[in-house]
Homo-oligomer: A and B are copies of this chain.
Amino acid sequence: MDSTELRDLLEEYRTGRVTVDAVLQRFGDPPVADLGFAHVDLHRRQRCGFPEVIFCEGKSGEWIEGVVRKLAEAGQDCLATRVNAEQAEHLARQFPLGEQDRLGRTFWLPAGTREPPSGRVIVITAGTSDLPVAQEAVVTARALGCHVDLLADVGVAGIHRLLRHRDQFSQADAIVVVAGMDGALPSVVGGLVDCPVVAVPTSIGYGAAFGGLAPLLTMLNSCSAGVVVVNIDSGFKGGYVAALIARGARKQPSS
């Protein structure tokens, strides 16, 4: 809002055409819930299109419960990731309606009825061991409202396993590729499609994978131009960004 707009608004207020509350809404801070141990960002859904998501590592069950409760009270969807067994049990007791996915280690408590899915995301894994990370991506992209399919264990050591599904994944609006070890799969997928490929390195592999560093570097250096990268083992971010892209591709263009 530039200076002229501000002057106009104030003039409208001074002359009674707009209320003080309307002015305050323009200048006031966005809503935040201060719980002492957390400032829940109740405005994020409006800014970013999805509510704040709870990363559970290093938090007590009570802390997580507090944030879930605050989001639910505000009528917002609630997604939590990296939920360990103890936290899962605590949440199950407090929120029996929440959906828990043990493979992906997620907790999901949607608010009210949901719109039909929009945008098509495909999650592909190089190996079977990559499945937990991939499942986190699947749950996340579904939470953001996309249609999601999973294609498991089609790594480049047997490239025909991938190529036979080419018709399927080339229809996607966005593709998440989850791979450990050499992390070569996103480059191959990226060379076959015209949508962005979100590469998720995993920490699966022998010693020189260095906890996911190897596939991370592979993906960052992908010779396919449409490949972007997120953090190691972050199925969450992979699914989140793919959903953002896919939803964007399906909304009515504004121009």
Binding site for B on A (CB under 8 A): 1, 3, 6-7, 10-11, 13-14, 20, 23-24, 27-30, 32, 36-39, 41, 43-44, 47-50, 52-53, 55, 57-59, 63, 67, 126-129, 131-132, 152-161, 163-164, 167, 173, 180-184, 187-188, 190-196, 198, 201, 203-234, 236-237, 240-241, 244-245, 248-253, 255
- Cβ contacts under 8 Å, A225 to chain B: 48, 50, 53, 157, 236-237, 240-241
The answer to whether A241 touches B226 (Cβ under 8 A) is: yes
The answer to whether A208 touches B217 (Cβ under 8 A) is: yes
- Cβ contacts under 8 Å, A232 to chain B: 206-208, 220
A40 CB, nearest partner CB in chain B, Å: 8
A40, closest chain B residue (CB)? B153
A219 CB, nearest partner CB in chain B, Å: 7
A5 CB, nearest partner CB in chain B, Å: 10
The answer to whether A253 touches B249 (Cβ under 8 A) is: yes
Q: A203-B207, A231-B221, A248-B245 are in contact. Are A159 and B188 (CB under 8 A)?
A: yes
The answer to whether B173 touches A156 (Cβ under 8 A) is: no
A242 CB, nearest partner CB in chain B, Å: 9
A232, closest chain B residue (CB)? B207
The answer to whether B217 touches A214 (Cβ under 8 A) is: yes
A126-B7 Cα distance, complex, nearest whole Å: 30
The residue from B11, B192, B208, B223 contacting A221, defined by CB atoms under 8 A apart: B208
The answer to whether A191 touches B231 (Cβ under 8 A) is: no
Q: A214-B218, A226-B244, A228-B241 are in contact. Are A152 and B203 (CB under 8 A)?
A: no
The answer to whether A161 touches B32 (Cβ under 8 A) is: yes
- Cβ contacts under 8 Å, A253 to chain B: 249-252
A181-B47 Cα distance, complex, nearest whole Å: 21
